[in-house]
Structure 1
Amino acid sequence: MCCMPSSKEWRSNERGQAAEGTRERILAAAVAEFGAKGYSGARTAGIAVRAGVNQQLISYYFGGKQGLLDELRRRWQEVQAEIVPPGASFAESLGAYLDATLDRPDWAGLVVWQALGDCPYADAEEGKRQAGRQREAMAAAVDEARRRQVDGEIRAGLDPAFALLAAYAIIFAPVTMPQFVRDILGSDPLSSETRQVLRTQLIKLLTED
């Protein structure tokens, strides 16, 4: 029979679990703060209030606001890698990206702020490398869209690059233009009703002749 953990080991495990819980609360608060205000507008004091922790813990666990942003970037890359299941069609991919965006509106807001240039890198050279990787990823996405068009998944005669741009604009609209979405569609931007309308009409727009 395995030995039972000592009281010291139990306390150590409990402290570890408590620390991990605190880290996760801080990260969740940071996503909400960055998503709403951008990196420049966000304050560690506001993040601490959202998380219900002492502000000094942000420096302790992450080294400050930049460290928080770096960790969130790392986690978003992990999320992105799992959004579209292997072998998904173009229509299925659109739906998966729509769900990922509207399920995580704070994360989507952070992505928008980064696209606007408001989420700096601690290392300027790393920022340049990431910008280059982003351009390469977008170029690869356009090439993939061209292939899918040849395979009949994207409407013939439609510019594949425009198809991608339109998809991004519509998928992010509930986050970037919530009032427009509400006024035009007559429903809450993040509601299941709005999601279904966007999914159905986006697929019709880009895939059906």
Structure 2
Amino acid sequence: MPENSPRRSPRPGERRRDRERTRARILEAAKAEFGAKGYAAARVGEIADRAGVNKQLISYYFGGKEGLYNELNSPVYQGFSALAATDRPLAEVAADFVRTGLADTDLGRLFLWENLTDGAPDAVGVAAQREFLRGQVDYVRARQEAGDFPEDVDPAALMLMLMAAASASLAFPRVARAVTGRDPASPEFAEDYAEQLARVVRHLKR
């Protein structure tokens, strides 16, 4: 374009793509910041710096820190819920939770932070997590009725055990490294550990 040519205003479609890219950068930066520090310690300014944007854009697009956090969490729980379709065996779902958590460690750590910083009933993220967990208990109960594990095992207690097991390498990376002699962040470890957890769950049918 010649130097003296007037600058062309962006077309509506270009503006929309710019907004979408900016929002995506902010969400990715927020995931890393919240995953590293938890909601309370994360700072809007540091999220903006990670995303390379003015922090006022976080208020503009998301209404502030809480709105950003909720926007980030919503698709996470939707994705987790989609893993647990009632026609899928419990062993497969447990293995997929391992794979999902280790494929995106920022999201996995965010989930752990929400529980490590257990707060008041109306704390940020609590309502969304509660709704998700109730759905997971219903899924586990349905798999009990399908014969995946015995009738004398409480579905809620089993779900708690399996979620702890699926999160173990994220919550206890030093322990995982010590007892297995492997890197718990590696894709190979994730796949092998997921399969081992699935085998344990399959044994519940016997």
TM-score normalised by length of structure 2: 0.80
Give the partner amino acid of 1:12: P
Question: Number of aligned pairs?
Answer: 197
Corresponding position: 1:171 with 2:166: yes
Q: Secondary structure at the match of 1:81?
A: helix
> Structure with the greater relative contact order (CA < 8 A, sep ≥ 6): 1 or 2?
2
Deviation at 1:130, TM superposition (A): 4.9
Cα 1:108–1:85, aligned 2, differ >3 Å: closer, same or farther?
same
Cα 1:70–1:142, aligned 2, differ >3 Å: closer, same or farther?
same
Cα 1:175–1:48, aligned 2, differ >3 Å: closer, same or farther?
same
Q: Which runs of 5+ in 2 are unaligned?
A: 1-7
Cα 1:188–1:168, aligned 2, differ >3 Å: closer, same or farther?
same
Give the partner amino acid of 2:180: L
The residue that corresponds to 2:46 in the other structure is 46
Stretch deviating more after TM superposition (91-100 or 130-139): 130-139
CA distance in structure 2 between the aligned counterparts of 1:196 and 1:135, rounded to whole angstroms: 24
CA distance in structure 1 between the aligned counterparts of 2:201 and 2:21, rounded to whole angstroms: 43
Corresponding position: 1:185 with 2:180: yes
Stretch deviating more after TM superposition (14-23 or 183-192): 183-192
The residue that corresponds to 2:202 in the other structure is 207
Output aligned runs, 1:74-113, within 5 Å.
Answer: 74-84=74-84, 87-113=87-113
Deviations 1:83-138 (A, max 9, x none): 245622122112222222212211111112222345889xx499776576356335
Q: Which runs of 5+ in 1 are unaligned?
A: 1-6
The residue that corresponds to 2:131 in the other structure is 133
Stretch deviating more after TM superposition (38-47 or 125-134): 125-134
In percent, how many aligned pairs have the same letter? Answer: 34
CA distance in structure 1 between the aligned counterparts of 2:51 and 2:84, rounded to whole angstroms: 31
Cα 1:191–1:85, aligned 2, differ >3 Å: closer, same or farther?
farther
Q: Secondary structure at the match of 1:88?
A: coil
Cα RMSD for the two superposed structures:
3.0
| 1:83–1:100 contact (8 Å) kept in structure 2 | no
| 2:109–2:170 contact (8 Å) kept in structure 1 | yes
Q: Secondary structure at the match of 1:197?
A: helix
